[in-house]
Every structure is written in C-alpha cells, then in structure tokens.
A and B are shown apart, each in its own frame.
Chain A
Amino acid sequence: MPVWLELILRVLVVVGAFLTLPLIVGQAEHKVMAHMQGRLGPMYAGAFHGWAQLVADGVKFVQKEDITPRAADRQVFRLAPVVALLPYLAVLLVIPLGPHGLVAQPLDVGLFFVLAVVGIGVIAVLMAAWSSANKYSLLGGLRAAAQLLGYELPFVLSAASVAMAAGTLSLSGIVEAWRPWWLLWQLPAMLIFFIAGLAEIRRPPFDMPIADSELVFGYLTEYTGLRFAFFLLAEYVGIVVIAALTTVLFLGGWKGPFDDQVGWLWTLLKMFAVAFVVIWLRVAYPRLREDQLQRLCWLVLVPLALLQLVLTAAVKVAL
C-alpha cells in the first residue's frame, strides 16, 4: 500500500471513530439513565425501546435558531465550540486499539502528547465563558478553570506513575509492558486518574461549572442549536477519551484471551465498560460543592498520587 493511501485510510478511520463512538456513548447514556432512574421519556421515540431518541435530539439541535448574544464577542463566541472539540480529535489519533501497531499515529511520547493536548480544553471553556457577556457564564467558566487547573495535577501524576512502571511514554509500549498484577500495584493511580479524568471533562459529580440549579447552565448558558450540540459532543468524546486512556494505561488495553486476533475488541469492550461506569456515576452521585471539589483534589488526590509515585518507584527499584 502506498504511504499516502495508508495515511488517508488511517485519518478516515479516526474521523469515523470520532463520529460514531461518542454517539454510541450518548445513546448508551440515554438508555442507562432511563433504566436506572425510571425515566420514561427516552423510551418512546421510534417505538421500539426508544431507539430513535438520539436522532430526535440531533434533529432538535439542527432546527434551533443559532443565536449569538448582541453583547457577545462574536468571533470568540463562535470559535469556542470548535476549540473545545479539536483537542479530543487529536487525542484519538494516538490511542492504540490493538497489537502490531494498530494505532492511527504511533508516537514516541504519546502519553505526554495526550496530557498536553487535553489541557487545551480549558481555553475553550474560558473563551466560551468570557465571550458570552453573561455573569453566569463567566462564573461557570472561572469555576471550570479553577477545577481544571487543580485536577490537572493528580491527572498527570497518576499517569506518570504508570509511565514509570512501564519505563516508556509510548501508549503502545505501556500496554506491552502491562501485567495483570499491575491492577493491584497501580490501583490507587487508576482510581485517581479516573476521578481526575471525570473532573477534567466536567462530568457529574464534578459538574460544578455548569451547575444548573445555581448558574443556569454555566459557560454554556448562551449557547443554542448546533454550537451547543458541539459542546455536548465534546463532552461525549471526552468520555470516550477518558475511558480509552483508563483502558490503555491501567486495564491493559488489548490484553486478553486471543489478543493476537481480537485485541481491538478487548480495547473497545474495556473502554465501553469504563464509559458505563462514567454514566453510572452521573446517576448515582450528587454534585460536589465547590469547596468539597477543591478539597478532594488538593487534600486527597494529590497526596495519594504522590504516595503512589513513591510506591511505584520502590517496587520498580526492588524488582
């Protein structure tokens, strides 16, 4: 296969994953929440088990008028949803799906790239918050920025722990080095990474920035129609990315029975299992208050992540 054809093929596959995986997660969220909370609404559209609910949502978003507030900074306001979405697309490029280089773009410093690019999302939030010319938006944006800056630390530290254990920053390399007993060794890091990841994508119980009972809808208050749908899509891609990263870093990625043939299936299965937990947590837990949220980060997660680093180093030296 010529190089350019392979390149185009890889990019197309990633764009395809980018367009389908978040929708599957979105549909799963509708169904899971409907069953867990006894919601009747999402069970009607399209007759059988409400399969067309997501389609109906899409049609609704497209129909709505695209409003830009008069006092808003138009260009920044319109650019923000795109900036929110693009980093996640870039992250999907380097996540390995299976063995033997089944990854769109193998990167020597893959883990570092992911951590760096996910951090850009904050800028989109600040852009949306400020350019809306709305005090609730601005308050939500400042909350989001404080939350993201804080949780970036345990996020990076716990990822560093597993990179230390594997002795590489390459995501494929980490999966190669992974052994089942790491589940125990890296358990604290996994929990910290997952919780900090939830906070990074601002999912409940960490949705203080868009707390609808006090801030209307935080930095998304002024967004309507497709632009709002873009932010929503960014949230679902965020779930996919966090689930995929948890899988690759801590759950052994494609490792499993017959992984030579169906490694990609293991990755996807583990990913959707983690995504299911993300949805489950939204249903199960109330929102954390702002002070509780910061307290959890700085007084619990950061010290624990540092302890995990010490543990990782100790075991690594002892081995």
Chain B
Amino acid sequence: MTAADVLLAALGAVALGAGLLVVTTRHVVRAGLWLVVTLGAVAGLYLVLSAELLAWVQVLLYVGAVVVLLLFAVMLTRAPIGASDDLDRVRWPGALIGAGAGAGLVALFADAFHWSRVGLPAPGTAEAIGGAVFRTWVLPFELVSVLLLAALVGAIVVSRPDISAGPRSDSRPDPRGR
C-alpha cells in the first residue's frame, strides 16, 4: 500500500458515501450539495491518477457550472428548508438498477484485469491532452463541436416561441389583408 493507494481508497469512499447521500437524503437542496462533494472527490481521484487537467476541468464544469445550474433551477422552483416527505422516489427499481449496474461493472473490471498491475500512463498535462485532441482525435472533436452547436441552436429555437417552427396559431396579423 502506497500513499497514493490510501488516498485513492479514501477519496473513493468519500465519493461513494456522498453519492449515496445524494439519492437518500430527504432534503432537496442538500442532495445538490452532496453532489458537489461527490464530484469534488472524483476530481481528487483524477488528481491522484495524475490527470491534472482533467481534474480541474471536472471542477470547472461540473462543480462550477452544472451543479450551480441545478441548484439554481431547484431554488427557482421549490426548495423547502428541511426534509420533504412527499418526494416520490422509485426506490426498489432504482436500487436494483443502480446496484446491478455497479455490480456488473465491478465484475467486468475484475474479469478483465484480475490482479494484474497497470502502471500509470504519462501525466495528463495540458500539452499532452491538447496534442491528443487536436492531432489524433481532431475529427471526433469537431463532430462533437457541431453536435453541441446544433443542441445550442435547438435550445434557443425551443425556448423562443416567436421563432419556433411548426403550425402557427397566428396571433400575428396578416400584413396585407387587414
């Protein structure tokens, strides 16, 4: 056991525990805050595995943006302080699917690697990742960019009724025949 192993195990435990709290707590907003802890612990895992850039991307995008948007949306709609007893969770199917997927992944990895040791790859510096994305994987990268752009445009069209396509209910007056 090296220090890195201990750190990995500890961070994994934190991520797992906080993740469990996300789905079991009865406080809606606190669930979001536990999600911050989970994602932060995962970023810590990346750091221990020397994927430095990925770790900070995780913090910037997931902690700084995604969770904030999530909390923002919850607070705009209904965010009571204290436990809400009327949360409808799909308890058993959810637990089954979650545990099943988890057990399946564990089995898959155990079967694939057994106890073989894999050395750490070269550190995920900005230069290495930049080179990989813009040299080797430039086509998939561009494809994803176009997909995201399409999603953006789609979101704007959907959210603005005045430019959306489809059958108009014609609240607009006809310019010629008055």
Chain A residues proximal to chain B, CB less than 8 Å: 71-73, 76, 107-109, 112-113, 115-117, 119-120, 122-123, 126-127, 129-131, 133, 138, 141-142, 145-146, 148-149, 152, 169
What residues of A have a CB within 8 angstroms of the CB of B56 in the complex? 109, 112-113, 116
B33 interface contact, C-beta 8 A: yes
Identify the closest chain B residue to A126 (Cβ).
B71
Given A116-B57, A141-B75, A109:B63 Cβ within 8 A: no
> Size of chain B's interface in residues, with CB distance under 8 A?
26
Q: Is A130 a contact partner of B29 (Cβ separation < 8 A)? A: yes
- A122 CA / B68 CA spacing, docked (Å): 7
List B37-83 residues whose CB lies under 8 Å from chain A: 52-53, 56-57, 59-60, 63-65, 67-69, 71-72, 75-76, 79, 81-82
- A142 CA / B72 CA spacing, docked (Å): 7
**How distant is A313 from chain B, measured CB to nearest CB, in Å?**
14
What residues of A have a CB within 8 angstroms of the CB of B30 in the complex? 73, 76
What residues of B have a CB within 8 angstroms of the CB of A76 in the complex? 29-30, 33
What residues of A have a CB within 8 angstroms of the CB of B53 in the complex? 109, 112
**How distant is B20 from chain A, measured CB to nearest CB, in Å?**
18
Partner of A152, one of B64, B76, B125: B64
Identify the closest chain B residue to A148 (Cβ).
B68
Q: Is B33 a contact partner of A109 (Cβ separation < 8 A)? A: no
Given A72-B81, A116-B57, A130-B79, A109:B67 Cβ within 8 A: no
Partner of B75, one of A109, A115, A130: A130
- A148 CA / B82 CA spacing, docked (Å): 27
Which of B30, B60, B79 is most buried by chain A, counting CB atoms within 10 A of its CB? B60
Q: Is B75 a contact partner of A120 (Cβ separation < 8 A)? A: no
Q: Is the interface of B mostly helix, strand, loop or mixed?
A: helix
Partner of B63, one of A119, A146, A169: A119
- A314 CA / B117 CA spacing, docked (Å): 47
Identify the closest chain B residue to A167 (Cβ).
B127
Q: Is B68 a contact partner of A123 (Cβ separation < 8 A)? A: yes
Identify the closest chain A residue to B68 (Cβ).
A122
B126 interface contact, C-beta 8 A: yes
Partner of A149, one of B57, B65, B75, B126: B65
B36 interface contact, C-beta 8 A: yes
Given A115-B60, A120-B63, A131-B81, A126:B125 Cβ within 8 A: no
Identify the closest chain A residue to B53 (Cβ).
A109
Binary A-proximity of B74-106 (CB < 8 A = 1, otherwise 0)? 011001011000000000000000000000000
Given A73-B81, A108-B125, A138:B75 Cβ within 8 A: yes
Q: Is B68 a contact partner of A126 (Cβ separation < 8 A)? A: yes
Known contacts A116-B59, A142-B75; 15 further A-B pairs (Cβ under 8 A):
A71-B81, A73-B81, A76-B33, A109-B53, A109-B126, A117-B59, A122-B64, A123-B33, A126-B75, A130-B29, A130-B75, A131-B81, A138-B75, A142-B76, A149-B72
**How distant is B51 from chain A, measured CB to nearest CB, in Å?**
11
Identify the closest chain A residue to B76 (Cβ).
A142
